[in-house]
Copies of this chain bind each other. A is one copy, B any other.
């Protein structure tokens, strides 16, 4: 909480005041304001006038106290400690990733019609996790949408245990009875594999995401599986951290070991972009010499030269659906966990 404090504003009007002005009871004013039950139109009108003249605004805390709802939902960015970088640098990394922006955008889409606002919480370290958890238990938000990066992230389990209604972006690693939205990552990787194969690429490498991230593993496995079906059981791969710089380093390493490669699949667009940059640095042409396929179809896919062929993940839609599911859980509790899996789609651009 800290020492936050509203300035000594003059006492603002309460229901009581409005009731007095309108010459009715508190209950009636409340009814008009919340649009509940029938109230004589004439009285409604006079109440409305009283509201306007007093400049009345309902007090959220008082309302929450009795309704036991906060009218806010948490958007929790969880997992991912600061991998060696400075604390803030790691944070900037996370929030600067187009993925995060798309999630926020989608969440707004899902929440806006209901007048609910997202509270941003970062649970990247044990104490931050505790803080976030206690904030939620205090009832400051009615539920949580969790974007969890690491598979072994304890946050979903903790939230579940705390009885906080929760929806995840991405299937949980451990089998938890919790709702989620996710992408068919393996299928997406297969699309990329089939495409590279169809383009005649036979010396293909992969830049994978962190193995601790479930989506990263699924993409890698899906890709390898599909390639195996095309008769290529072994594929070199390097791991990176979903950042462009990481992608660059991985690409450089792969080039040393496999100078004759002719195709690259990266587990996200940022890394693919890094790969393209390094390939060009080495005098290789994309796509003539090396075809590159990314994943996500984020803004990074169209930002670079050439624009990336990529596997589309409809992050905004997924996030909006996540918000809708949570709202739904809150509206009628007690129903089992649901999950919505989105289908990926290949978007062919000039990098392959």
- A interface with B by C-beta (< 8 Å): 1-9, 57-65, 67-73, 75, 87-88, 91-92, 94-98, 100-102, 104-106, 108-109, 112, 114-122, 128, 131-132, 134-135, 137-140, 142-143, 163, 165, 244-245, 273, 277, 280-281, 298-299, 302-305, 316, 327, 329-331, 333-334
A60 shortest CB reach to chain B, Å:
4
| Contact, CB under 8 Å: A91 / B105 | yes
Neighbouring B residues of A6 by C-beta, 8 Å: 68-69, 139, 142, 165, 330, 333
Complex Cα–Cα for A36 and B316 (A): 46
Partner of A102, one of B9, B92, B330, B331: B92
With contact pairs A7-B163, A91-B108 given, residues A117 and B120 touching in the complex (Cβ less than 8 Å): yes
| A106 to chain B: closest residue by CB | B88
Cβ contact within 8 Å between A331 and B3: yes
Contact at A71–B330, with CB atoms within 8 Å?
A: no
List the B side residues contacting A119 at CB < 8 Å. 72, 117-120
| B277 A71 Cβ-Cβ under 8 A | no
Q: Look across to chain B and name the residue whose beta carbon is closest to the beta carbon of A276.
A: B305
B contact residues around A139 at 8 Å (CB):
6, 59-61
Q: In the complex this chain forms, how many copies of it are found?
A: 2
| Interface contact A101-B108, CB-CB below 8 Å | no
Contact B65 A4 (CB under 8 A): no
Question: Bound complex: CA of A135 vs CA of B61, how far in Å?
Answer: 11
Q: Which 7 A-B pairs have the closest CB atoms?
A: A7-B333, A95-B101, A96-B101, A2-B114, A61-B64, A60-B138, A61-B65
- Residues on B with beta carbons closer than 8 Å to the beta carbon of A244: 299, 303
User: Which listed residue (B4, B98, B333) contacts A5, Cβ 8 A?
Assistant: B333
Q: Which of A58, A245, A303 has the most CB of B within 10 A?
A: A303
In the complex, the chain B residue whose C-beta lies closest to that of A111 is B2
Judging by beta carbons under 8 Å apart, are A65 and B68 in contact?
A: no
Known: A60-B138, A120-B120. 6 other contacts (CB 8 A): A3-B331, A5-B333, A7-B329, A8-B334, A59-B138, A100-B101
Q: Are the C-beta atoms of A102 and B96 separated by less than 8 Å?
A: yes
Residues of B within 8 A of A60 (CB): 64, 70, 135, 138-140
17 contacting pairs across A/B (C-beta < 8 A): A4-B70, A4-B331, A5-B68, A5-B142, A58-B138, A60-B70, A61-B65, A72-B72, A87-B109, A88-B105, A91-B105, A92-B105, A96-B101, A101-B101, A117-B121, A117-B132, A118-B119
**A52 CB → nearest B CB, Å:** 14
Could you tell me if A2 and B134 are in contact, using CB atoms closer than 8 angstroms? Answer: no
In the assembled complex, the Cα of A73 lies from the Cα of B305 at a distance in Å of: 40
Contact A331 to B165, CB < 8 A, known contacts A64-B61, A92-B101: no
Taking a contact as CB atoms under 8 Å apart, the answer to whether A88 and B71 are in contact is no
- Asked whether A2 and B115 contact (CB < 8 A) given A138-B58, A334-B7, the answer is yes
